[in-house]
Amino acid sequence: MPPHIFSISDNAYHNMLQDRENQSILITGESGAGKTENTKKVISYFAMVAAATKKEDDDTVKKGTLEDQIVQANPVLEAYGNAKTNRNNNSSR
């Protein structure tokens, strides 16, 4: 069974910190396979991990967590990068 997307994300994050080298995750598949949804999970995971390592301050109550801010920005990015196709109403381009 292939590794879970969070395991892959965690390995990339820890390798980045340990080796101090850029990491990449390639998400591939046919139309409708869940590439965009898995990308959202990866972004959410990285935002959660990054926020956990950052000190909490009083402003986070007003602005929301870093994870929330990144996840909430996703619909704006989708508006510019997605289109309706025959196979998917919200296909990422």
Contact 12, 19 (CB under 8 A): no
Residue 90 phi/psi, 5-degree rounding, is -135, 55
The answer to whether 36 is annotated as binding is yes
* Alpha helix ranges (H) inside the chain: 5-19, 35-53, 59-63, 66-81
Is 64 assigned a ligand-binding role in the annotation? no
At residue 79, does pLDDT exceed 70?
yes
pTM above 0.85, yes or no: no
Q: Can you tell me the distance from the alpha carbon of 33 to that of 16, in angstroms, rounded to the nearest whole number?
A: 28
Give yes or no for a contact between 62 and 71, defined as CB atoms under 8 angstroms apart.
Answer: no
Place of tokens 């292939």: 2
- pLDDT tens, 42-77? 988 888 887 777 655 545 555 667 677 777 887 888
Per domain, the residue ranges of the chain are 5-86
- The per-residue pLDDT for range 1-18, each reduced to its tens digit, is 788 999 999 999 999 999
Annotation-wise, does 34 bind a ligand?
A: yes
Is residue 44 part of an annotated ligand binding site?
A: no
